[in-house]
Chain A
Amino acid sequence: MRPGDLGPARSRQAKVVGPLVLARPRQAKNFRGSITESEPCSHHVAVRSQRPALPTVCSLSASVRKNIKMVGVLRRFNQLKALVRIRTGPGAAVLPQDVTRIHMEFAHKLNDGHMGPRKFWREALPRLKYWNPAVPMVVNRTTDNSGPATLTLYFREPGATLASDMPMPSSSNEGFAKAPAPAEGERVVTIDMKHRRSEAILKEFMDKSGAVAVTPTPQDEVELREAEEREAKGAVDRERIRRMNEEAKREKAMIAQAQSEAAAIRSSL
Chain B
Amino acid sequence: MASLNQCLASLARLSLSTPARPILTPTIPKFLIPSATAPLVRHASGGGGMRKRPVKKKKTYKTYKTWDLSEIEQFSLCDALRYLRAFEVGRPPAVVKYELAVKLRTQKGGPVIRNRIRLPFPVKTDTRIGVICPEDSPLMIEAQQLGAVAVGQESLFESIRAGQLPFNKLICHVDSVEALRKANLGKILGPKGLMPSPKTKTITSDLKATVQELIGADEYRERDGVVRMAVGQLGFTPQMLSDNIKSFMNLLKQDISNSDDNHPKALDEVVLSSTNGPGFSLNGSFHPTDPKLKPEDLQSVM
Cα–Cα, bound, A265→B31 (Å): 20
Q: A205 near B: Cβ within 8 Å? A: no
List chain A positions with a Cβ less than 8 A from chain B: 27, 30-33, 52-56, 58-59, 61-63, 65-71, 73, 76-77, 79-80, 83, 86, 101, 104, 121, 125-130, 133-139, 141, 168-173, 250-251, 254-255, 258-259, 261-262, 265-266
Pairwise interchain contact A61-B235, C-beta atoms closer than 8 A = no
A53-B88, A77-B71 given; A265·B11 CB < 8 A: yes
Cα–Cα, bound, A265→B13 (Å): 12
Pairwise interchain contact A79-B70, C-beta atoms closer than 8 A = no
Cα–Cα, bound, A67→B221 (Å): 11
Cα–Cα, bound, A80→B243 (Å): 25
Chain B 169-196 residues near chain A, CB threshold 8 A: none
Residues from chain A with Cβ under 8 Å of B14 in the complex: 265
Which of A63, A69, A136, A261 has the most C-beta atoms of chain B within 10 angstroms of its own C-beta? A63
Q: B225 near A: Cβ within 8 Å? A: yes
A61-B230, A76-B279 given; A129·B31 CB < 8 A: no
Residue of A nearest to B235 (CB): A170
Which of B67, B281, B293 has the most C-beta atoms of chain A within 10 angstroms of its own C-beta? B67
Pairwise interchain contact B86-A52, C-beta atoms closer than 8 A = yes
Pairwise interchain contact A170-B87, C-beta atoms closer than 8 A = no
Q: B253 near A: Cβ within 8 Å? A: no
Which of A54, A70, A76, A135 has the most C-beta atoms of chain B within 10 angstroms of its own C-beta? A70
Q: B297 near A: Cβ within 8 Å? A: yes
| Residue in B83, B85, B223 whose beta carbon sits within 8 Å of that of A83 in the complex | B83
Residues from chain A with Cβ under 8 Å of B228 in the complex: 62, 65
Q: B236 near A: Cβ within 8 Å? A: no
Pairwise interchain contact B278-A58, C-beta atoms closer than 8 A = yes
Q: B116 near A: Cβ within 8 Å? A: no
Pairwise interchain contact A80-B11, C-beta atoms closer than 8 A = no
- A36 to chain B minimum Cβ distance, whole angstroms, is 13
Residue of A nearest to B74 (CB): A80
Pairwise interchain contact B273-A32, C-beta atoms closer than 8 A = no
Of B2-10, B146-154, B259-267, which binds chain A?
B2-10
Which of B8, B94, B276 has the most C-beta atoms of chain A within 10 angstroms of its own C-beta? B276
Residues from chain A with Cβ under 8 Å of B224 in the complex: 67-70
Residues from chain A with Cβ under 8 Å of B275 in the complex: 55, 59, 61
Residue of B nearest to A165 (CB): B301
Residues from chain B with Cβ under 8 Å of A66 in the complex: 223
Pairwise interchain contact A56-B278, C-beta atoms closer than 8 A = yes
Pairwise interchain contact B91-A171, C-beta atoms closer than 8 A = yes
Against A, the Cβ 8 Å flags (1 = close, 0 = not) of B206-230 are 0000000000000010011110111
Q: B298 near A: Cβ within 8 Å? A: yes
| Residue in B90, B92, B223 whose beta carbon sits within 8 Å of that of A125 in the complex | B90
Q: B99 near A: Cβ within 8 Å? A: yes
Residues from chain A with Cβ under 8 Å of B7 in the complex: 258, 262, 265-266
* Subset of 30 A-B contacts with CB under 8 Å: A27-B71, A53-B89, A53-B90, A53-B91, A55-B276, A56-B273, A58-B101, A58-B277, A58-B278, A61-B230, A62-B229, A70-B226, A70-B271, A73-B72, A76-B72, A76-B279, A80-B72, A83-B278, A104-B90, A126-B87, A129-B86, A133-B85, A133-B86, A137-B89, A251-B31, A254-B32, A259-B4, A262-B11, A265-B11, A265-B14
